[in-house]
Amino acid sequence: MRWKKTASMIEVHAEGEVGRVVTSGVLDVPGATMLDKMLHINEVDGSLRRFFCFEPRGYAQMSTNLLFPPTRPDADAAFLILQPDRAHAMSGSNSICVVTALLETGILPIHEPQTVVRLETPAGIVKAVAQCTDGKCVSVSLDMSPSFVDRLDAVVEVEGLGPVTVDIAFGGVFYALIDPAQFGMAIDPAAARTLADIASRVHRAVDAQLDVQHPTTKGLGGISYTMFVDRDARGDLRGATVLPPGRFDRSPCGTGNSARLACMVARGEAAVGDRFEARSIIGSKFDVGIFGETKVGDRPAILPRITGRGWIHGFHQIGLDPSDPFPEGYAVADCWGDGMDLLK
Ligand SMILES: O=C(O)[C@H]1NCC[C@@H]1O
């Protein structure tokens, strides 16, 4: 074997959203904390992100999760979420994928009927409670990051669309939440390309026109994603997160629904103790709820809880031959999306 780099991973999806879990090939990333490691990838050396996320080893519609030993004594494992544009601080679907992989392959011991896993992320500790039967994680409940509103009904000037109203909120990462009705649209898989194009334009406008900062943690600023929010015919929450360079989350989105719940509480549309069904653009489901409240800096914040399911669907090995002409991979807008400028 003459490969310059080799990595093994577990292929997992959570309610349709793929979150690969790397189990070998990456020993560590410089940084004393998970936030430091994320900033190293985003500000110093993005080669790992490109190796895993770009073609031919990667593709747009997935995330790659790097596993690490925890840097904190109160955590069982740590992970970083790599996507084509950057490493991100927290992710609901990816947390479900990581817990499913850790427990169903014995990296951490599985206990029945319930296993608690404390995950360390750049956004802090996420407590995961997995319901386990016959060696399967039947469901995973996540106590998400404290979530809060940055601003409601902000207006940005969007190329080709004019003024667009968004809510900016934090659910583990920052979101621009968009009501599609302002474009005469609704969340519909048949309109996915049009909606994804709109979302990429809104993302650019928010980046350029709004200064979004976390009140207590430098390095968590700026929106990660945009998310269309509406309700389905049954009145259930329906959400569709668009990730750079312009593709939809296949899951209902845990961090996005956490941000949405914070906005609903701020508008008096929800309260502590409420629970909802949240659907994705493909109809998959998370149970989402609010189990407490707190403060983040001077901001009132909620404690969301997200429950969903993950499934292992493969085992995978990738590598780099020294003669490969594309050691850092490549991406083309035909299937990656119109927001190629949003990639680093
Ligand atoms: O569920 C979530 O929070 C994630 N799904 C893809 C984008 C977000 O990180």
Note the pLDDT tens digit of each residue in 14-28: 999 999 999 999 999
The finding on whether 253 has its CB within 6 A of some atom of ligand 1 is: yes
Residue 207: Cβ-neighbour burial (10 angstroms; 0-12, 13-18, 19+): middle
Task: Report yes or no on whether pTM surpasses 0.95.
Answer: yes
Residue 192: Cβ-neighbour burial (10 angstroms; 0-12, 13-18, 19+): middle
The finding on whether 83 has its CB within 6 A of some atom of ligand 1 is: no
The finding on whether 93 has its CB within 6 A of some atom of ligand 1 is: yes
**C-alpha angle 11-127-16 in degrees, rounded to nearest 5:** 30
Q: Is the pLDDT of residue 206 over 80?
A: yes
The finding on whether 17 has its CB within 6 A of some atom of ligand 1 is: yes
Distance 147 CA to ligand 1 centre (A): 14
Q: Under DSSP, is residue 220 helix (H, G, I), strand (E, B) or coil? A: coil
Q: Measured from the CA of 256, which atom of ligand 1 is nearest? A: 3
Q: Under DSSP, is residue 71 helix (H, G, I), strand (E, B) or coil? A: coil
Domains recognised in the chain with CATH numbers: 5-143+311-342 (3.10.310.10), 147-307 (3.10.310.10)
Q: Is the pLDDT of residue 344 over 90?
A: no
At residue 343 the predicted structure's pLDDT band, cuts being 50, 70 and 90, is confident
Please confirm, yes or no, whether 323 is among the known catalytic residues. Answer: no
| pLDDT of 223 | 98
**What percent of the chain is modeled with pLDDT above 70?**
100
Span 67-74, average pLDDT: 98
Q: CA–CA distance from 257 to each of 54, 91, 167, 229, 260 (Å)?
A: 27, 11, 13, 9, 5
Q: Is the pLDDT of residue 1 over 80?
A: no
Q: What is the ipTM of this complex?
A: 0.99
Span 262-280, average pLDDT: 98
Other CB atoms within 10 Å distance of the CB of residue 139: 17
Q: Measured from the CA of 93, which atom of ligand 1 is nearest? A: 1
pLDDT tens, 306-323? Answer: 999 999 999 999 999 999
The per-residue pLDDT of the chain, averaged, comes to 97
Q: Measured from the CA of 241, which atom of ligand 1 is nearest? A: 7
Distance 56 CA to ligand 1 centre (A): 23
Q: Is the pLDDT of residue 143 over 90?
A: yes
Please confirm, yes or no, whether 253 is among the known catalytic residues. Answer: yes
CA end-to-end span of the chain:
32
Of the candidates 183, 168, 306, the residue with the CA atom closest to the CA atom of residue 237: 306
Q: CA–CA distance from 303 to each of 145, 205, 236, 259, 262 (Å)?
A: 7, 29, 20, 10, 9
pLDDT tens, 319-339? Answer: 999 999 999 999 999 999 999
Distance 81 CA to ligand 1 centre (A): 10
| pLDDT of 136 | 98
**What token pair was written down for 58?**
């990667």
Is 254 assigned a ligand-binding role in the annotation? yes
Q: Give 166's strand partners.
A: 154, 178
CB 86 within 8 A of CB 344: yes
**C-alpha angle 35-38-40 in degrees, rounded to nearest 5:** 110
- What kind and span of H or E run contains 242? strand 237-243
At residue 76 the predicted structure's pLDDT band, cuts being 50, 70 and 90, is very high
Span 106-115, average pLDDT: 98
**What percent of the chain is modeled with pLDDT above 90?**
97
The finding on whether 249 has its CB within 6 A of some atom of ligand 1 is: yes
Other CB atoms within 10 Å distance of the CB of residue 74: 9
Is 319 assigned a ligand-binding role in the annotation? no
At residue 289 the predicted structure's pLDDT band, cuts being 50, 70 and 90, is very high
Is 147 assigned a ligand-binding role in the annotation? no
Residue of 96, 241, 248 to test ligand 1 pocket, by largest number of atoms within 8 Å of CB: 241
Span 32-58, average pLDDT: 97
| pLDDT of 257 | 98
Q: Is the pLDDT of residue 61 over 90?
A: yes
Is 47 assigned a ligand-binding role in the annotation? no
| pLDDT of 4 | 93
Is 249 assigned a ligand-binding role in the annotation? yes
Catalytic residue chosen out of the listed positions 53, 132, 253, 263: 253
At residue 283 the predicted structure's pLDDT band, cuts being 50, 70 and 90, is very high
Distance in angstroms (rounded) separating the CA atoms of residues 123 and 144? 10
Distance 120 CA to ligand 1 centre (A): 16
